[in-house]
């Protein structure tokens, strides 16, 4: 049975996430994976792990994913008709390794005011408990921004090794976001989430795409110490809180691949 937009919004507001949303048919999903494979071959696996931030300005397939109508349609349902693309970031876990993503909230170090952002997580590869899929703690977005400390465990893939304390009872409520390649999950910028190590021999690659409404502004530096470069995808930007950045591929000229 098809989920209505109203149900999507209600579930998102209550739980802070949505999962198993179909984005790409098999051929299209295969196209995106092949493009990523070529990029990985070009720049190397080490760079691909967490180093591909905002490459949608240079690689058309990343731009195509970030602006995919099936993704942006859902985002519009959640945040309204005015949608800005804030950033993209690949998270690629190779196995078997002990690299993990500690419990955290996305917006903690983004410098956004108000801290309203939505992340879509598009599965380049199948993502499951065997290769370290994302986990979320339902409803944890309703508590506001939590104090983050530093992870004491080796192998945290987060940029500044941040971690939010989670009790054993909370951890037991965590939901595994199991996705097939071509599907996506969506999570609220304040939901507590993370992922366990990839103990398989399979790669687990996903593209995170961050979206904001134009009401958001950059109040302070983000953790990368550089300004965001949002692009208006739908609706209007009546607030002009950011320097306008144009569509990087207006006529698909000069784009890589």
Q: 171-187 pLDDT, tens per residue? A: 999 999 999 999 999 99
- Provide the β-strand partners of residue 188: 118
Residue 173 included in any domain:
yes
Structural domains of the chain, count: 1
Q: With contact defined as beta carbons under 8 Å apart, do 93 and 203 qualify?
A: yes
The phi, psi pair for 11, rounded to 5°, reads: -65, -40
The model's pLDDT over 213-232, given as tens digits with 9 standing for 90+, comes to: 999 999 988 877 889 999 99
Indicate whether 238 belongs to any domain.
no
Q: Which domain holds residue 95?
A: 5-229
Between 32 and 255, where is the model more confident?
32
User: Does residue 245 fall inside a structural domain?
Assistant: no
User: E strands, 70-114, where?
Assistant: 83-93, 101-104, 112-113
- Has residue 254 got a pLDDT over 50? no
Residue 252 confidence (pLDDT): 56
Return the pLDDT at 117.
Answer: 97
- Note whether residue 253 is domain-resident: no
Q: Residue 133 is part of a domain; what is its CATH number?
A: 2.60.120.620
- Per-residue pLDDT, averaged over 24-41, amounts to 98
pLDDT of residue 161: 87
Residue 175 lies in a domain: yes
Query: Is pLDDT of 63 > 50?
Result: yes
């Amino acid at each position: 049975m098809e989920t209505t937009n109203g149900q999507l919004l209600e579930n998102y507001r209550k739980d802070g996430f949505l999962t198993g949303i179909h984005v790409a048919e098999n051929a299209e999903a295969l196209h995106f994976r092949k493009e990523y494979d070529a990029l990985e071959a070009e720049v190397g696996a080490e760079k691909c792990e967490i180093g591909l931030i905002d490459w949608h300005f240079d690689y058309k397939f990343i731009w195509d994913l970030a602006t995919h109508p099936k993704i942006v349609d859902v985002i519009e349902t959640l945040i309204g008709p005015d949608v800005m693309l804030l950033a993209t970031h690949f998270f690629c876990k190779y196995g078997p390794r002990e690299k993990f993503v500690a419990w955290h909230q996305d917006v903690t170090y983004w410098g956004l005011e108000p801290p309203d952002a939505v992340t879509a997580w598009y599965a380049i590869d199948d993502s499951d408990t065997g290769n370290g899929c994302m986990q979320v703690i339902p409803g944890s977005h309703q508590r506001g921004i939590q104090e983050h400390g530093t992870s004491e465990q080796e192998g945290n893939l987060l940029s500044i090794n941040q971690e939010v304390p989670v009790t054993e009872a909370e951890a037991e409520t965590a939901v595994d976001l199991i996705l097939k390649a071509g599907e996506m999950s969506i999570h609220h910028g304040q939901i507590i989430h993370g992922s366990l190590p990839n103990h398989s021999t399979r790669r687990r690659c996903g593209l995170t795409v961050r979206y904001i409404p134009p009401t958001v502004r950059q109040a302070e530096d983000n953790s990368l110490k550089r300004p965001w470069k949002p692009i208006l995808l739908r609706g209007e930007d009546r607030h002009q809180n950011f320097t306008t950045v144009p569509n990087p591929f207006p006529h698909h000229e000069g784009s890589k691949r």
